[in-house]
Amino acid sequence: MKISIIGGGITGLTTAIALNRKGINARVFEAAEEMNEIGAGVWLQPNAMRVLDLLGLKETILQNGAAINKMEITNQKLKPFKEIKAKTVEDEYGNRTIGIHRGLLQKLLFEEASKKSEIFLGHKLESIEAKENKSILNFEKQTIESDIILGCDGIHSNVRKTIFPKTELRNSGQICWRGIAEFELPSHLKELGKECWGNQIRFGFSEIAPGKVYWFGVAKNNGETSKLQLQDLPKFLKEFDPLISEIIKNTTSIHTGTLSDLKRLEKWSNNTTCLLGDAAHATTPNMGQGACQGIEDAYYIAELLSKNQAQLAFEQFEKLRRKKVDYVVNNSWRFGKMAHSKMGQSLMIMLMKTTPQSVLDKTMKKLYRVDF
């Protein structure tokens, strides 16, 4: 049985590793010519860390990332409205959130996956044709036959376009800047994840390695904000604590992008092909769960494919994953809309201040528990 994974991002590589752990070999086809250590940072929340633990990768991630011991939502001057202690989360769910360089995470996953899987770089999938019970994968330079296809090719997935041609992206109307600063945080801010709110803007940061700070800023895209360059951001964020400008000034390049998600798909699979990660359910990043959900997908699909025929595995996968994924995508969308509107942001701040811990605990349970 030939399994082809299209896309060697976080979801595709984790899927290859998860299948390997079940004794199943899959080939990975990635469009990029090489695996560069590019990208900013990513927060791996306890649900993703649980899966990475089950795959034997927890120690590697801990050694290469930085544990976030407290998450704080604060005002512009870094004064918390709400804090979530990692110790409490770890006691309940076995893991805390880890901040890590995205490129480094990809490299670690690539190294692990390539121990057992063949990874073909420079292989951009163009189209898929059905031939009897098989699929023909057409790449720019080559044609390959496959029995099962796992589409892990991200929000603009070509696999998805082939099996479900009529899907739509939703533009959130928000813009995001991300960077890594070469910057030593004051000692009381190390091991903290902070998200600072004000003027309908959010700015988040955490250390991801000694002397390296991952940060992101999100604002409404009003035309003007989309033109802002790295050097304009300190002025744009002048109402925020001066530390934020310092972080930005110690950054040499940023990634800028509008935030979109994928309108809910009725189905993620057909007989031979299943979509995973952003290809199936891209979310806005407001809950920091997109990659975490891709990592969960990887574990589930490997479990199911190790016990069932593909079609049944795909059906069960949709049943098991749908509820949580919908919860993340819908709440992240709403959260973004509220957080970047004038009334909405004030309302959310008020709610955050008054939300009892029991409500927060319920939300964490929904996100962080991984049941197989």
Distances (CA, A) of 66 to 72, 100, 212, 362: 16, 6, 10, 26
Mask: binding to ligand FAD, 308-347, rule CB under 6 A, as x and -? ----------------------------------------
Q: By CB under 6 A, how many residues form the interface with ligand FAD? A: 32
Of residues 109 through 138, those in contact with ligand FAD by CB under 6 A are 123-125
Mask: binding to ligand FAD, 28-47, rule CB under 6 A, as x and -? -xxxx---------xx----
Distances (CA, A) of 283 to 34, 169, 292, 311, 325: 26, 10, 11, 25, 9
Task: Output the smallest distance, CB 41 to ligand FAD, in A.
Answer: 7
Of residues 49 through 88, those in contact with ligand FAD by CB under 6 A are none
CB of 23 or CB of 165, closer to ligand FAD: 165
Task: Output the smallest distance, CB 315 to ligand FAD, in A.
Answer: 21
Mask: binding to ligand FAD, 294-313, rule CB under 6 A, as x and -? x-------------------
Any contact of residue 237 with ligand FAD (CB under 6 A)? no
Any contact of residue 274 with ligand FAD (CB under 6 A)? no
CB of 132 or CB of 168, closer to ligand FAD: 168
Task: Output the smallest distance, CB 22 to ligand FAD, in A.
Answer: 20
46 within 8 A of 93, measured Cβ to Cβ: yes
Provide the token pair at 59: 């120690």
Task: Output the smallest distance, CB 65 to ligand FAD, in A.
Answer: 11
Residues 154, 193, 217, 336: which binds ligand FAD (CB under 6 A)?
Answer: 154
CB of 77 or CB of 110, closer to ligand FAD: 110
C-alpha dihedral over 50, 54, 59, 65, to 10 degrees? -40
Any contact of residue 290 with ligand FAD (CB under 6 A)? yes
Of residues 166 through 225, those in contact with ligand FAD by CB under 6 A are 176, 178, 216
CB of 178 or CB of 241, closer to ligand FAD: 178
CA distance 285 to 333: 9
Task: Output the smallest distance, CB 354 to ligand FAD, in A.
Answer: 26
Residues 10, 68, 149, 339: which binds ligand FAD (CB under 6 A)?
Answer: 10
The end-to-end CA distance of the chain, in Å, is 25
Any contact of residue 3 with ligand FAD (CB under 6 A)? no
Which residues contact residue 229 at a Cβ distance below 8 angstroms, ignoring those fewer than 6 apart? none
Report the relative pairing of strands 70-74 and 192-198 from DSSP bridges: parallel
Distances (CA, A) of 33 to 122, 142, 155, 243, 281: 4, 15, 19, 38, 26
Full DSSP string of 16-77 = HHHHHHTT--EEEE-SSSS----S-EEEE-HHHHHHHHHTT-HHHHHHHSEE--EEEEE-TT
Task: Output the smallest distance, CB 356 to ligand FAD, in A.
Answer: 26
Q: Is 78 left (phi over 0), alpha (psi -120 to 50) or beta?
A: left
Any contact of residue 278 with ligand FAD (CB under 6 A)? yes
Which residues contact residue 65 at a Cβ distance below 8 angstroms, ignoring those fewer than 6 apart? 44, 98, 99, 100, 101, 104, 105, 208, 209
Which residues lie near ligand FAD (CB under 6 A)? 6-12, 29-32, 42-43, 123-125, 152-154, 158, 176, 178, 216, 277-278, 285, 288-292, 294
